[in-house]
Chain A
Amino acid sequence: MPTSCILRPTRRALLAGAALLAMPGLALAQQTPVKGGTVIAALASTTIPNLNTQLTSATPALIVADVWADGLMTYDRDGKRIPRLATSWEISPDGKTYTFHIREGVKWSDGQPFTAGDVAFTLNAFGKFNTYLTKMMPFVESATAPDDKTFVLQLKQPLTATLDLFDKEVFPLMPRHIYEGKDVATHPANRAPVGLGPFKFESWENGRSITFVRNPNYWQAPKPYLDSVIFALVPNNQQALNAMANGEVQWFRPEVVQVPATLQAAKKGNFHVVEIRNNAPETAVVDINLRRAPFDNVKVRQALFHAIDRQRIVKDVYQGLADTAKNAIPVQFTALHDPALSYDTLFAYDPALAGRLLDEAGFPLKDGKRFSLELTTISASPYDAIGQVVQAQWKAIGIEVKLTTLDNQLWVDKVYNKHDFDASIISLTGRSNPVLGVDRSFVCNQGNVPYANPTGYCNPEFDKAAADAASAPLDKQKALYRAYADIVARDLNQLALTNAKAFEAVSNNFMNLDAQFNVAFNTHPNWAEAWLPKDKQ
């Protein structure tokens, strides 16, 4: 039974089979695919600096990369690894040697042959520039291609997350014949890429659209079936929704808070909403600045956590399309998450207890007030709405909260560079392994690195626990990540609020959508599976 969910206006009640049967792509999935047609996909960004996702983690570039780039492996909607350009791989017993067997007979979109040498080149040339690989690169002893169909990665010490670092989203393959000997970081191919994906770059009309056409050298021939994919560049997601509702585009990715409006628009439009199975987390959090009193007192942080009704945030901000976060290791990491440790019980909403904790910490209520703090966030949805809920709830226990909502760049400067904040709200992508997206919230960050632990929390005990967990064998990791989560729950430099779901809206005209949307949380349709009947082209 397929597990992608089609949301109709009655939403959660219709997540099951009946709704799936209503999906045109499913009903006619057995028909023979025909070639032709175009999908116009809306991207909520009109300027994209770089399409090469070795060099950027920006969401619009990641969405585009799914169309033109490919990698050694990926994940399906259940989080299961699927081979792509690597047909198989082996890990040595000491966990230090990874051998990937590379698919043969594959060509780049410009017709040049693809070999294991391209894989080794990609790691050697781009590894130090790739934000996701910063943890692995210091461990790399060598990355070599002993022959055209074998790629060998030799590590200095084991890193169990290594395979996850070769997911096609994190490590898209780059052509050696294009980049070798050139300045890879500013190469023109970063905006006119040559790749291994189902479509190849055709043109870019500045501020308006990026067009990809069928890659005649695609390794999964006869796919793709569509002639082209056009990304319509629009300034924001509301305009993407407008365009979808008016039939001007056939795909867009709504923000979670937009989903109810998108479902409403789908009533009149020829499209539906698909829930993407969430095998990676998007966690909204409050970072607390431990450099400042009284936030250096753990009782104060516990009180702040107890004072937040996270169910209220789920209901009011996310319209029920999120869950409360359970502990530092998100539930999506099924092999690593221990459900016995739950913030729902450990830090249950209890304003009275929060008050008592503050009393004990030396902040009794005086004239209805205990102390003041500044809560800062980006002036955008859903952060501002979360900020308002938290502000009201902290006020209820006598904390006067000044809510400061800022432009993204100003907020980054305030929180990560100047550390000029008491509490800060952000939503962070955890990707597919704690090493990739979760560690950054807790590992010591003495510098001014944006989007990495701004709280001043530096605990060698935790850093060692994170390193031990990352390098442990798979069967030992769960216990070690439980220890990791226990330390975070004890020290609480960050209050984890919610874990949001992910959705995409797509036209009913396309066939074979179930196969097309067999993607993980961080991936998007590559449009190799979907096809359009002749009368819809």
Chain B
Amino acid sequence: MLRVAGRRAVWALPLLLTIIVVMFCLLRAIPGDPVQAMVGDFPVPPAYRALIEEKYHLNDPLPTQIVTYLGNIVSGDFGYSYQNQRPVIGLILERAPRTILLASASFAIAIPLGLLLGVLAGTARRPLADKLLTTSALIAYAIPTFWLGQLLVIVFALQLGWLPTQGIGPMISRAHGFAWILERLRYLALPALAFAIHEGMRIARISRASVIDTLGQGYIVTARAKGLTRGAIIRRHILRNASLPVVTIAGYAFGHALGGAVLLETVFAWPGVGLLLVDSIRLRDNMTVIGIVIVSAIAVVVMNLVVDVVYALLDPRIRTAR
């Protein structure tokens, strides 16, 4: 397994290098003026423009910028955010735990929810029940998360007043211990639910197909012939086998989410990596954009590695093959 991890890491290096070069070229190609973004909608005084451009090397030739960046990144320097006036890595590390929390909470709901619906649909005895579940899942999956998020805000925050509209916690809190956790959960509920519904429906569709596929396998017929109950067959044979593609999909989606749930974080003013990315693009804070893209790429690579490990744990055939 270590060898696989090492091989993956080595493959990831040229990938990251390519990402950095492509990002630099793309960001240079996109029109934008970070100094104007700092000053607002009045003309930038020439003295201020000259000073900022010199300070942050904004006018250095592209190859110089790339070479300098690559040199710095080796020593863990991801550049300096001129719109936040601090090193990019510190900024990402401050935001990342919030994104990880949102992604983890969402997948903690999405995976069991998706598996449950998938198994129910896949093993449904009546075709109508299967169609109903599948269609519902498809409709829910088709709803864009940002729109679903807004609907949840309107219903649960603005109409019913049960939950806050946005943020990660109250601006003033006197809660401690368990009360503090409950308070935070109130803020986490809507964005996590919106994310979980979307991802859960995707998992439901994959797991249903996988369950149906597994049901046709010979060992299921054998299990039935042995007289195992329906519940036992689902638990011992179907669920475990059907969960393999789910691990792939969920792992990839989770890795992607760690790079920032861009739209959801914006809708819920969730100050994670996704919201930082949106602001950084708007303000042409290019070092931060590149830093986030690199972290996202690393997250995807790491999650793929984790998926491989989980795969091997779930399926002895893979362990033996390797």
Q: A191-B85, A239-B269, A242-B153 are in contact. Are A185 and B55 (CB under 8 A)?
A: yes
Residue of B43, B278, B284 touching A131 (CB-CB under 8 A): B43
User: Interface size on B (CB < 8 Å)?
Assistant: 52
Q: Check if B181 is an interface residue, CB within 8 A of chain A.
A: no
CA distance A205 to B276 in the complex (A): 13
Q: Are B37 and A131 in contact (CB under 8 A)?
A: no
| A254-270 vs B, Cβ < 8 Å mask (1 yes, 0 no) | 00000000000000000
Q: Check if B161 is an interface residue, CB within 8 A of chain A.
A: yes
Enumerate chain A residues within 8 angstroms of B95, measured Cβ to Cβ: 206-207
Interface residues of B in 23-45 (CB under 8 A from A): 30-33, 36-45
CB of B154 to closest CB in A, whole Å: 9
Q: Tell me which of A51-59, A301-309, A496-504 binds B.
A: A51-59
Q: A245-B158, A409-B31, A413-B31 are in contact. Are A132 and B42 (CB under 8 A)?
A: yes
CB of A88 to closest CB in B, whole Å: 29
Interface residues of A in 212-228 (CB under 8 A from B): none
Residue of A59, A183, A249, A440 touching B40 (CB-CB under 8 A): A59
Q: Are B31 and A47 in contact (CB under 8 A)?
A: no
Q: Check if B51 is an interface residue, CB within 8 A of chain A.
A: yes
**Which of under 10, 10 to 19, 20 to 34, or 35 or more describes the interface residues of A?**
35 or more
Q: Check if B94 is an interface residue, CB within 8 A of chain A.
A: yes
Q: Check if A34 is an interface residue, CB within 8 A of chain B.
A: no
Enumerate chain B residues within 8 angstroms of A46, measured Cβ to Cβ: 269, 271, 275, 279
Interface residues of A in 456-508 (CB under 8 A from B): none
CA distance A249 to B167 in the complex (A): 12
Q: Check if B166 is an interface residue, CB within 8 A of chain A.
A: yes
Q: Check if A232 is an interface residue, CB within 8 A of chain B.
A: yes
Residue of A49, A208, A437 touching B82 (CB-CB under 8 A): A49
Residue of A55, A56, A134, A409 touching B282 (CB-CB under 8 A): A409
Residue of A56, A208, A249, A409 touching B33 (CB-CB under 8 A): A409
Interface residues of A in 396-435 (CB under 8 A from B): 407-410, 412-414, 417, 428-429
Q: A49-B283, A248-B167, A409-B282 are in contact. Are A417 and B85 (CB under 8 A)?
A: no
Enumerate chain B residues within 8 angstroms of A412, measured Cβ to Cβ: 31, 33, 36
Residue of A185, A186, A246, A417 touching B164 (CB-CB under 8 A): A246
Q: Are A49 and B84 in contact (CB under 8 A)?
A: yes
Q: Check if A129 is an interface residue, CB within 8 A of chain B.
A: yes
Q: Are A49 and B282 in contact (CB under 8 A)?
A: no
CB of B56 to closest CB in A, whole Å: 9
Q: Are B48 and A55 in contact (CB under 8 A)?
A: yes
Q: A47-B283, A206-B271, A207-B275 are in contact. Are A40 and B42 (CB under 8 A)?
A: no
Q: Check if B5 is an interface residue, CB within 8 A of chain A.
A: no
CB of A240 to closest CB in B, whole Å: 9
Instruction: Name A53's closest neighbour in chain B (CB-CB).
Output: B40
CB of B97 to closest CB in A, whole Å: 12
CB of B105 to closest CB in A, whole Å: 18
CA distance A183 to B276 in the complex (A): 27
CA distance A148 to B113 in the complex (A): 71
Enumerate chain A residues within 8 angstroms of B52, measured Cβ to Cβ: 185-186
Q: Check if A139 is an interface residue, CB within 8 A of chain B.
A: no
| A307-348 vs B, Cβ < 8 Å mask (1 yes, 0 no) | 000000000000000000000000000000000000000000
Enumerate chain B residues within 8 angstroms of A408, measured Cβ to Cβ: 282
| B127-162 vs A, Cβ < 8 Å mask (1 yes, 0 no) | 000000000000000000000000001000110010
Q: Are A413 and B32 in contact (CB under 8 A)?
A: yes
Q: Tell me which of A160-168, A172-180, A447-455 binds B.
A: A447-455
Instruction: Name B94's closest neighbour in chain A (CB-CB).
Output: A206
Q: Check if B248 is an interface residue, CB within 8 A of chain A.
A: no
Q: Are A40 and B33 in contact (CB under 8 A)?
A: no
Instruction: Name B161's closest neighbour in chain A (CB-CB).
Output: A246
Enumerate chain B residues within 8 angstroms of A3, measured Cβ to Cβ: none
Q: Check if A143 is an interface residue, CB within 8 A of chain B.
A: no
Q: Are B33 and A57 in contact (CB under 8 A)?
A: no
Most chain A C-beta atoms within 10 Å of own C-beta, residue among B45, B47, B278 = B45
Q: Check if B301 is an interface residue, CB within 8 A of chain A.
A: no
| A186-201 vs B, Cβ < 8 Å mask (1 yes, 0 no) | 1010110000000000
Residue of B31, B41, B51, B158 touching A246 (CB-CB under 8 A): B158
CA distance A128 to B41 in the complex (A): 17
Q: Report which B residues bind A (CB closer than 8 A).
A: 30-33, 36-45, 47-48, 51-52, 55, 82-85, 91, 94-95, 153, 157-158, 161, 164-168, 170-172, 266-267, 269, 271-272, 275-276, 278-280, 282-285
